[in-house]
Amino acid sequence: MKRSGLITTKIGMTRLYDDTGVAHAVTVLSVGDCAVIGNRTIEKNGYVANVLGIREAKAKHIAKPQAVAAEKAGVKPYRKIVEFRCSDDCVIPVGTNMVASHFVAGQFVDVQATSKGKGFQGAMKRHNFGGKEATHGVLKAHRSLGGTGMREWPGRVLPGKKMSGQMGNETVTVQNLKVFGIDDAENLVFVEGAVPGANGTFVLVTDAIKKEQKDLPIPTCEVKKTAAEETKTEETKSESVAE
């Protein structure tokens, strides 16, 4: 059994207290208007997946193929679209609005996001090098990374050598973070610990692949309808029966 993940937005960090009064540092993730906008099937695509979108996009901000695909599927165009591989019993119907209760308090999740970009950095900050000595002949090279050559052979710097360069702004995955709690009213997920990326970053949240977990809603949590929606549904059913 493999469930779909969620696309969330990082709100920031705060502290929450458990029943014993112990404070926990948590990251607040907002599910927002995340919804299922498509499915992938074995017959058509060769694999099974749910296609999710978040943050409705304006018509002028999306490409024409994306607009046509959204119109054909009968859904709104979204700014961020992600596929989540899943098993056959975890396919979610198109048009389903995802909620924070897709996850359960106490379970473990994996989060993936783009880390903060830190620009061009030296080897000491980027790779935790020790630097050179303060004295004994070292002049104006205290934070240098040292020699990078290889003598006559191969006579070049080998690929992958740890050197100065662009730091951050890369995809980072953090595994086995615990879900501290859920806020159904605001559609928020509270995850213990730090999550990569700046506030406002899109964060992909999935069930932890290294943990065996039970009692999770399959394929997802059913959204409870309001009294008005239930009344409208009953009226529609009665009209169809009368016809």
Average pLDDT over residues 161-186: 97
Residue 172: pLDDT band with limits 50, 70, 90: very high
Distance CA 108, CA 90 (A): 18
CATH number of 6-116+169-242: 2.40.30.10
Grade residue 93 by pLDDT with cuts at 50, 70 and 90: very high
Whole-angstrom Cα distance, residue 36 to residue 127?
A: 40
Query: Which pLDDT score, from 0 to 100, does residue 232 have?
Result: 58
Stated pTM of the model: 0.86
| Closest-CA residue to 186 (of 69, 33, 18) | 33
**Strands 108-114 vs 171-183: parallel, antiparallel or unpaired:** antiparallel
- d(Cα 4, Cα 41) in Å, to the nearest integer? 14
The dihedrals phi and psi of 25, each to the nearest 5 degrees, come to -80, 125
Task: Convert the pLDDT of each residue in 8-46 to its tens digit.
Answer: 999 999 999 999 999 999 999 999 999 999 999 999 999
User: Which residue ranges does the chain devote to CATH 2.40.30.10?
Assistant: 6-116+169-242
Rounded to a whole number of angstroms, the distance between the first and last alpha carbons of the chain is 42
Which residue in 59, 65, 100 sits closest to 182, CA to CA?
A: 100
Select from 115, 119, 139 the least CA-distant residue to 203. 115
Spatial separation of the C-alpha atoms in residues 40 and 86, rounded to whole Å: 10
